[in-house]
């Protein structure tokens, strides 16, 4: 058996009286927390970079491929806005779209916040 | 985070016990133990469960200790011819007995290299089977056996040299 060997006794006495300081775990945990915070910051940064790149790609796509459609839509909207009934129609169309967008924004934010806080 | 604190609570002393015997310095051992748990935290997702968690933890502790001691540690080299001249039975007769020359054992352990102290500690102190020692050191089981036998021979030679010096 290993424990019956004189080597075991020699090794045992070699480490005798040596132990971790009482605040070892607190010290280690604060280092781990610092690493964790840095990791979350980096993740947030990459998420922002990704969002910017994604938005830029979508805008570039819309401008390059659907520029004529958008320009036509803006022209039609401006013509409709010239009379009051048309203006209200536009408002009625835009309002639900705005609510929908805000709800999507809140939903996405909540998911990201959950992820980033590690819940 | 609380579960990691619990994990550290259960394993920190064991990791420290291994590291302090390899690096032979309490302050360095404590710092290395912290580094070990930091590495464990960063790589916990990579632990695939193929080996035991303690083996994985010991492997990280072993690697950290070895890379730390490589930075500057005295290791007494013993001539290859001296090691070859010693038979296994002679080594067994000294190291597994109550011979008076064993008083020189602590000094001989001091003169071993970090890897040699690690294999001796894992096998004799931690009482791990050879297969697990090999797994921790990432070598084959037969290679681990050869290294252990070689370290025992080196201890024999060192003990003989130390004893002669004091005579």
List, in order of start, the domains of chain B with CATH numbers.
2-70 (1.10.1740.10), 80-166 (1.10.10.10)
Domain holding A96, by residue range, is 81-119
Residues A90 and A115 in one domain: yes
- A86 with A50, same domain: the answer is no
Q: In the block, which residue shows the tokens 């590690």? A: A118
Residue A38 falls inside a structural domain: yes
The minimal CB distance from A14 to the residues B12, B98, B109 is found for B109
Long-range contacts of A16-21 (CB under 8 A, 24+ apart): A18/B16, A18/B20, A18/B26, A18/B29, A19/B13, A19/B16, A20/B12, A20/B13, A20/B16, A20/B30, A20/B33, A21/B30
* Helical ranges in A1-119 per DSSP H: 6-15, 24-80, 84-116
Structural domain tally of chain A?
2
Q: Measure CB to CB from residue B95 to each of A7, A13, A28 and give the nearest one.
A: A7
A59 and A85 together in one domain:
no
Give the whole-angstrom CA distance, residue B167 versus residue B158. 14
C-alpha distances out from residue A47 to A51, A115, A117, Å: 6, 11, 14
ipTM of the complex: 0.79
Q: Are residues A28 and A57 in the same domain?
A: yes
| Residue that is written with structure tokens 């020692």 in the block | B133
The reply to whether A85 falls in a domain is yes
B90 Cβ under 8 Å from any chain A Cβ: no
Closest chain B residue to the Cα of A28, Cα to Cα: B34
Instruction: Kindly report, residue by residue over B18-50, the tens digit of the pLDDT.
Output: 999 998 888 999 999 999 999 999 888 888 888
Q: pLDDT tens-digit profile of A60-115?
A: 888 888 878 878 887 877 777 677 677 777 788 888 888 998 888 888 877 776 66
CB proximity under 8 Å: B 106-165 to A:
106, 109, 120-121, 123-125, 127, 155
- Residue B147 to residues A78, B67, B74, B143: CA-CA distances in angstroms? 86, 19, 19, 6
Q: Are residues A57 and A26 in the same domain?
A: yes
Q: Greater confidence, A83 or B17?
A: B17
- A26 and A62 share one domain: yes
Residue A111 to chain B, least CA–CA distance (Å): 20
For residue B34, give the nearest of A38, A16, A18, A26 by alpha carbon: A26
In A, minimum Cα distance to B36 occurs at A28
């Amino acid at each position: 058996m290993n424990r019956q060997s004189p080597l075991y006794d020699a090794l045992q006495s070699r480490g005798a009286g040596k132990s971790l300081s009482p605040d070892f775990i607190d010290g280690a945990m604060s280092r781990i927390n610092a690493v964790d915070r840095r990791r979350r910051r980096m993740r947030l940064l990459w998420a922002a970079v990704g969002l910017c790149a994604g938005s830029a790609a979508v805008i570039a796509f819309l401008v390059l491929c659907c520029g004529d459609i958008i320009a036509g839509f803006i022209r039609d909207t401006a013509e409709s806005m010239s009379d009051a009934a048309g203006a209200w129609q536009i408002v009625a169309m835009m309002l639900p779209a705005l609510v929908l967008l805000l709800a999507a924004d809140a939903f996405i934010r909540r998911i990201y916040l959950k992820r980033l806080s590690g819940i | 985070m609380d579960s990691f604190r619990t994990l550290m609570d259960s394993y920190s002393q064991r990791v420290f016990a291994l590291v302090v015997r390899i690096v032979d310095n309490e302050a360095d051992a404590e710092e290395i133990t912290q580094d070990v748990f930091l590495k464990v935290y960063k790589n916990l997702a990579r632990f695939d469960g193929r080996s035991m968690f303690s083996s994985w933890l010991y492997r990280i502790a072993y690697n950290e200790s070895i890379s730390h001691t490589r930075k500057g540690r005295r290791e007494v080299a013993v001539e290859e011819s001296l090691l070859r001249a010693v038979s296994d039975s002679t080594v067994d007769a000294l190291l597994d007995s109550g011979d008076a020359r064993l008083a020189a054992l602590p000094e001989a352990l001091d003169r071993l290299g970090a890897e040699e102290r690690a294999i001796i500690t894992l096998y004799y102190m931690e009482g791990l089977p050879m297969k697990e020692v090999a797994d921790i050191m990432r070598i084959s089981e037969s290679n681990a056996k050869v290294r252990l036998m070689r370290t025992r021979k080196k201890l024999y030679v060192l003990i003989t040299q130390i004893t002669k010096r004091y005579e």
